[in-house]
Amino acid sequence: MKMKNKVFLLVMLVLLLAVSACSNDKSAGGTKGSDGDSKGKSELKLTLSAQPPTLDTVATNSVDAATVARNIFETLVTPNSNYQPVPMLAESVDISDDGKMYTFVLRQGVKFHNGKEMKSEDVVASMNRWKEASVVASDILGDAAFEAKDDYTVVLQLDSPSSGVLNILASTKQFPAIMPKEIVETATAEGVTEFIGTGPFELEELKQNQYIHLAKYEDYQPVDSEADGLAGKKEALVEDVYFYIVKDAATRLAAVQTGEYDINTDVYFEQYDIVKEDKNINTHPDQYGNLLAVYNKQSGLFTDKKMRQAINAAINTEDIMLATFVHEELFNIDHGYMGMDQKDWYTEKGLESYNQADAKKAKALLEEAGYKGEEINIIATSDYSEHYDSAVVLESQLRELGVNVKLETFDWPTLLDRRKDPAAWDIMVTGYSTVTTPAQIYYLNPNDHGWTNDAKIADLLEQIDAAPSVKEAQPLWAELQEYASNDYVPVSNFGTYSLVAAARNNVKGFKIFQGPIVWNTTVE
């Protein structure tokens, strides 16, 4: 009897030790909610396809940098799912009647990861540094500077109104991260060396070309509104987030299939069928931007707008997009220079000149232009399948039209150099990422490849920027898109397309908006 009692006590002791060990092991025991219930694993593991050059978004346009940094840093305003700017670190934004003064009232009690409360001096230092570093911000804001009115009020006084102010402040590219003033003052041209923000996660460790480890920030202060795009309530539901640098696409795919990682942030289009068929994986398309053909308007045949109108009339964009992406959930047949998800800017103007597939009209325009069978040189990169595949289909369509066309492909660095030479190409097939204001559309800029140099487009862009509000700028933008699409034709837009992330199906709450959103996400 005594022996049985000893055995029983020994078993109970082992069980108690096991329970104790599990309760002290974050990865085994999980994260505790306010009700004390386990919410799953305490780690979330993602892949990145490249090592970010820095996590300082003011100093880089790197997409991978923004993917990580959005968890560390926050901004005064941020985009909701309709790409509309809403307050984040600002509690409110007031715009004067003349559209020249913006008053940002800051949320109180927001703390940086070093424990310091965020105040006006930090915002002013961060925003003025960003304004000097961002070309688009400098163009829109001019010589205006952010100034502190008191500890929790920041004022931006413009020389003239601009409809693009809040949109550029809410941009996801080279976004204006708010940092402590003393950190900002140490910044060099390469960026800051300490990455301290107000976000739901803080930087724990960065091992170059291996991983970036973020940890839950226990003193994070969320806003009290529904999560929407990058706006609304953010909650760190895991203790640790790891971004592993995995440059090889096949390795990234295998790692998420086996469960080594929870999320692959960059699935190649050629792998989409594989992940779609895997019952353990959910796919998350994320609108990237426009796929289009850019016409060289500085040199050669396409300085004649009749030639541009002719090619535009011939293009069957539906066939191009379907052949390039195969799956309809990966693209939209969308004519807009600003996509249909962008509620403030989308317009149907110019739709009549899109996806015409009208060979008869195209041939008549070619004849009007005096086309005599000269060779038309299309360039594209072979490094991005969507660029190459769509260029191949375009070449085929133009051959069927009877046009003498030649496709040349290059690696991406070579193409970037090649496109600078107006004597080297006639049409370039490429992609442009989503932007938040018309001023950011590169192919409407005379200094960008394609060399759009048109007085009416320039004048309308200037009026759009100078409009006191987005509402007053909208009809100007509709007029510009209608004119550009039907008459000037700087580009032929094929449509909008999405990049793809893949998450294992035990990842819950995961969303994607211009990159992965890892707050409000759990792993069962």
**Domain at 237, CATH number:** 3.40.190.10
Q: Which pLDDT belongs to residue 32?
A: 39
Q: Which pLDDT belongs to residue 25?
A: 41
Based on the domain organization, do 200 and 293 belong to the same domain?
Answer: no
Tokens standing for residue 284: 């998350």
Q: Would the pLDDT of 423 be above 90? A: yes
Based on the domain organization, do 234 and 124 belong to the same domain?
Answer: yes
What is the three-class DSSP state of 380? strand
Based on the domain organization, do 223 and 208 belong to the same domain?
Answer: yes
Give residues with Cβ within 8 angstroms of 187, minimum separation 6.
Answer: 56, 58, 59, 129
Please, are residues 499 and 512 in contact by the beta-carbon 8 Å criterion? no
Based on the domain organization, do 237 and 384 belong to the same domain?
Answer: no
Based on the domain organization, do 131 and 200 belong to the same domain?
Answer: yes
Cα dist from 97 to 1, 94, 144, 161, 469, whole Å: 90, 10, 18, 10, 10
Average pLDDT over residues 273-292: 94
The percent of residues above 70 in pLDDT, for the chain, comes to 92
Q: Would the pLDDT of 455 be above 50? A: yes
Which residue type, as a one-letter code, is found at position 82? Answer: N
Q: What residue numbers bound the domain in which 255 lies? A: 44-280+505-523
Provide the β-strand partners of residue 331: 497
Based on the domain organization, do 397 and 511 belong to the same domain?
Answer: no
30 in any annotated domain: no
Please, are residues 299 and 463 in contact by the beta-carbon 8 Å criterion? no
Task: Read off the pLDDT of residues 230-244 as tens digits, 9 standing for 90 and up.
Answer: 999 999 999 999 999
Residue at token pair 């940092």: 179
CA distance 324 to 76: 39
Residue at token pair 């409110």: 92
Based on the domain organization, do 198 and 317 belong to the same domain?
Answer: no
132 in any annotated domain: yes
Q: Which pLDDT belongs to residue 28?
A: 35
Task: Read off the pLDDT of residues 65-120 as tens digits, 9 standing for 90 and up.
Answer: 999 999 999 999 999 999 999 999 999 999 999 999 999 999 999 999 999 999 99
Question: Domain with 320 in it: what CATH number?
Answer: 3.10.105.10
> First vs last Cα of the chain: how many Å apart?
44
Please, are residues 123 and 89 in contact by the beta-carbon 8 Å criterion? yes
Which of 234, 252, 74, 249 minimizes the C-alpha distance to 169? 74
The pLDDT mean for the chain works out to: 91
Please, are residues 476 and 468 in contact by the beta-carbon 8 Å criterion? no
Which of 459, 450, 452 minimizes the C-alpha distance to 479? 459
Which of 378, 253, 362, 353 minimizes the C-alpha distance to 307? 362
Please, are residues 518 and 510 in contact by the beta-carbon 8 Å criterion? yes
Average pLDDT over residues 200-226: 96
420 in any annotated domain: yes
Based on the domain organization, do 261 and 310 belong to the same domain?
Answer: no
Q: Which pLDDT belongs to residue 61?
A: 85
Q: Would the pLDDT of 406 be above 60? A: yes
Q: Which pLDDT belongs to residue 40?
A: 62
Which of 305, 406, 393, 304 minimizes the C-alpha distance to 357? 393
How much is the pTM? 0.83
409 in any annotated domain: yes
Average pLDDT over residues 423-449: 92
Based on the domain organization, do 510 and 467 belong to the same domain?
Answer: no
Task: Read off the pLDDT of residues 345-372 as tens digits, 9 standing for 90 and up.
Answer: 999 999 999 999 999 999 999 999 999 9
Q: Would the pLDDT of 337 be above 50? A: yes
CB 180: neighbour CB atoms within 10 A? 24
7 in any annotated domain: no
Based on the domain organization, do 103 and 172 belong to the same domain?
Answer: yes
Residue at token pair 């670190």: 89
Task: Read off the pLDDT of residues 11-48 as tens digits, 9 standing for 90 and up.
Answer: 444 344 443 444 344 333 344 333 334 446 799 999 99
What's the pLDDT band for 8 if we cut at 50, 70, 90? very low
What's the pLDDT band for 449 if we cut at 50, 70, 90? confident
Tokens standing for residue 64: 């991978």
Pairing of strands 263-267, 491-504: antiparallel
What is the domain count for the chain?
Answer: 2
The percent of residues above 90 in pLDDT, for the chain, comes to 83
Q: Which pLDDT belongs to residue 14?
A: 39
What's the pLDDT band for 173 if we cut at 50, 70, 90? confident
CA distance 246 to 212: 12
> Which residue would you say has higher pLDDT here, 385 or 124?
124
Based on the domain organization, do 346 and 451 belong to the same domain?
Answer: yes
- Helices 317-325/385-401 angle, 10° precision: 140
Q: Would the pLDDT of 2 be above 50? A: no
* Burial class of 460 by CB neighbour count within 10 A (0 to 12, 13 to 18, 19+): buried
391 in any annotated domain: yes
Tokens standing for residue 464: 């759009």
333 in any annotated domain: yes
Based on the domain organization, do 324 and 441 belong to the same domain?
Answer: yes
